[in-house]
Amino acid sequence: MQRITRGNPLVLLIALVIPLVLAGCAGGQLGVKSSKEYRNGMVVSANQLASQVGIAILKKGGNAVDAAVAVQFSLAVVYPNAGNIGGGGFMVYRSAKGETSTIDYREKAAAKASRNMYLDSAGLPIVEKSMYGSLAAGVPGSVAGMFEAHQKYGKLPWADLIAPAIALADQGFEVSERQANELNGLQKRFALLNPSGTAFMKASAWAAGDLLVQKELANTLTHIKEKGKAGFYEGAVANAIVAEMQRSGGIISLEDLKNYEAIWRKPVVGMYKGFKVITMPPPSSGGIALIQLLKAVEGYPLKKWGHNTDSTVQVMVEAERRVYADRAAHLGDPDFYKVPGIQLMDAAYIKNRMSSFTWDKATSSTAVSAGVVAPMEHEETTHFSIVDREGNAVSITTTLNGSYGAGVVVKGAGFLLNNEMDDFSVKPGAPNMYGLVGGEANAIAPNKRMLSSMTPAILEKDGDLFMVVGTPGGSTIITSVFQTILNVIDFDMNMQAAVTAKKFHHQWLPDEVQVETGALDSVAQRVLERKGYIIKPRGPIGRVDAILKTKWGFYQGGADPRGDDLAIGW
């Protein structure tokens, strides 16, 4: 790929990143894991360098969208397991005046994709095929999404927002212990899928503090900085993607790239106890499912019962079981399938769904019990929340799907391809890597967007901003956002406590309550087990990054301690 000449990289780093980072740390403001409160704005993301870049943009006079663009590109460098330019995501926006919008920059199936492309001759799913290698990749949407957001709302020049990411890629950054461990665990897969090597591969083991330098990625980002959307979807970078497809058996073409469009969609909006919830419509299932869950539990005295008591957990689990069953049958890309969103969120419909549950025993999910659930793949997506000085808010969840996506780094262009095709239902009833099942609504078709669970959300109270929230976690995204909202509204937690609180999850199939260690006390667990609930202990659930606006007009951050996440306010 042609390399664009730039100035001395060291000078560039000093000129761009250091002032931004210093600005981010100045004025007595600290990164917070507690609920310190700030007046002028806040950035909460999965990586401290990305949070620093975002806050520096806000301090320079950029708005929340400017900061979001800079954070998305920076995460592609410093958080490559999920931050991306080779993946996609969703943005929910609310201006200080209350105008709302969403951008769908979800990946889509290539024009050459077909319904049975991941099945063998006996019609059975070849599991690895939708998970690893170029054939697992959908047409990336992130660059188009950011470009579109910036065109409509951006204040600072586009180039200024990409520059910090370029410097971080060019000069490198120190990996954390968590990142070093992840990279070490993936060496074999990288070697298998990338015979000519990648920046992530190393002869000796990665250790905390090692420098990860990504020259090819810096070069790709420079194309994007100089040519905008066309810098990725046309020219040298597009050619590199298609060459990679030819090398490693993928099907994305130059036309697929050129035709990719991010789409403005009307947000899904619902009310919960007087709070307005503004969130993502299909092709994410997250928004509709979140509203359904909130409505399903609204009539129950959760506060009186208390956080994670047996009654509270039982009613939430029964709501989750029913909502995920609806998800499997009714949700898919609205441009290909008529999603009955209004009916699904109708209060009478939801009440009726809940009427089949009884207190004495667990409802059974066995009506569709066929299919052995695939083991959980390590989950990676990332969410960030931003509020600027005027009070404009951005909630973005973005992903490559699995950790480090398809494992393929586009040769010469230095970025990872997503493995989002696995989010389609590759065969009716066959679980994907998150154990989710689906049918016709989410079947593969050329140019169709795969169903997502990502649930970036913004809440309002009395016409004013109240919360910005979202999380990674595959199928657990929806239930983690649900619990974080209840933790604040019903259980009176501050933002950090609501994020930190242990979580649980039910998704209809498999018929089990996944419980993060420590989420349930022994009494609640015993009562639920006696009623027939299968309690399945598991590791961390979610990695919520959220912002709460207090009634005094200050911002509280909630940065998830399950990761290296950081909230910075000013």
Q: Which residues are catalytic?
A: 381
What is the C-alpha to C-alpha distance for residues 93 and 393, in angstroms, rounded to an integer?
A: 6
What is the C-alpha to C-alpha distance for residues 128 and 52, in angstroms, rounded to an integer?
A: 37
Count CA atoms closer than 13 A to 259's CA, side-chain side. 13
Q: Which is nearer to ligand DON, 29 or 292 (CB)?
A: 292
Write down the least CB distance from residue 450 to ligand DON, Å.
7
Q: Which is nearer to ligand DON, 381 or 385 (CB)?
A: 381
Strand 535-538 and strand 513-516: the pairing is parallel
Q: Which residues have C-beta within 8 Å of that of residue 21, sequence separation ≥ 6?
A: 49, 52, 53, 56
Q: Which residues have C-beta within 8 Å of that of residue 98, sequence separation ≥ 6?
A: 460, 463
Q: Does 381 bind ligand DON (CB under 6 A)?
A: yes
Write down the least CB distance from residue 515 to ligand DON, Å.
18
3-state percent helix, strand, coil for the chain, nearest multiple of 5: 40, 15, 45
Write down the least CB distance from residue 427 to ligand DON, Å.
18
DSSP 144-164: HHHHHHHHHH--S-HHHHHHH
Identify which of 149, 258, 169, 183 has the alpha carbon closest to the alpha carbon of residue 222: 169
What is the token pair recorded at 363? 């409802």
Q: Which is nearer to ligand DON, 318 or 380 (CB)?
A: 380
Write down the least CB distance from residue 50 to ligand DON, Å.
16
Q: Which is nearer to ligand DON, 24 or 332 (CB)?
A: 332
H/E element, 287: helix 286-297
Query: Residues 556, 496: contact at Cβ < 8 Å?
Result: yes
Span of 225-233, 302-310, 379-387, 481-489 interacting with ligand DON by CB under 6 A: 379-387
Binding mask 165-194 for ligand DON (x = CB under 6 A): ------------------------------
Q: Does 425 bind ligand DON (CB under 6 A)?
A: no
Q: Does 453 bind ligand DON (CB under 6 A)?
A: yes
Q: Which is nearer to ligand DON, 155 or 378 (CB)?
A: 378
Q: Does 107 bind ligand DON (CB under 6 A)?
A: no
Among 104, 256, 333, 380, binds ligand DON (CB under 6 A): 380
H/E element, 394: strand 393-399
CA angle, 483 as apex, 481 and 485 as ends, to 5°?
Answer: 70
Span of 45-53, 271-279, 302-310, 377-385 interacting with ligand DON by CB under 6 A: 377-385
What is the C-alpha to C-alpha distance for residues 141 and 256, in angstroms, rounded to an integer?
A: 11
Binding mask 475-494 for ligand DON (x = CB under 6 A): --x-----------------
Which residue intervals of 60-201 are DSSP H helices? 64-78, 142-153, 158-171, 177-193
Span of 8-16, 197-205, 473-481, 496-504 interacting with ligand DON by CB under 6 A: 473-481
Q: Which is nearer to ligand DON, 380 or 512 (CB)?
A: 380
Identify which of 481, 422, 464, 471 has the alpha carbon closest to the alpha carbon of residue 550: 464
Query: Residues 53, 204: contact at Cβ < 8 Å?
Result: no
Write down the least CB distance from residue 333 to ligand DON, Å.
12
Span of 38-46, 190-198, 341-349, 378-386 interacting with ligand DON by CB under 6 A: 378-386
Q: Does 423 bind ligand DON (CB under 6 A)?
A: yes
Q: Does 473 bind ligand DON (CB under 6 A)?
A: yes
Write down the least CB distance from residue 268 to ligand DON, Å.
15
Q: Which is nearer to ligand DON, 142 or 399 (CB)?
A: 399
Among 42, 162, 165, 454, binds ligand DON (CB under 6 A): 454
| Residues facing residue 464 across a β-bridge | 461
Write down the least CB distance from residue 402 to ligand DON, Å.
7
Write down the least CB distance from residue 378 to ligand DON, Å.
8
Span of 52-60, 302-310, 340-348, 447-455 interacting with ligand DON by CB under 6 A: 447-455
Size of the site for ligand DON (CB under 6 A): 14
Among 125, 154, 474, 558, binds ligand DON (CB under 6 A): 474
Q: Does 401 bind ligand DON (CB under 6 A)?
A: yes
Among 72, 134, 452, 479, binds ligand DON (CB under 6 A): 452
What is the C-alpha to C-alpha distance for residues 291 and 323, in angstroms, rounded to an integer?
A: 10
Q: Does 399 bind ligand DON (CB under 6 A)?
A: yes
Q: Which is nearer to ligand DON, 402 or 558 (CB)?
A: 402
Taking phi first (over 0 means left), then psi (-120 to 50 degrees means alpha), and beta for anything else, what does residue 94 get?
beta
DSSP 330-354: H-S-TTTS---HHHHT-HHHHHHHH
Q: Does 379 bind ligand DON (CB under 6 A)?
A: yes
Q: At what angle do helices 158-171 and 64-78 cross, to 10 degrees?
A: 20
What is the C-alpha to C-alpha distance for residues 397 and 478, in angstroms, rounded to an integer?
A: 12
Residue type for position 151: Q
Q: Which is nearer to ligand DON, 335 or 529 (CB)?
A: 335
Which residues here bind ligand DON, judged by CB under 6 A? Answer: 379-381, 399, 401, 420, 423, 452-454, 472-474, 477
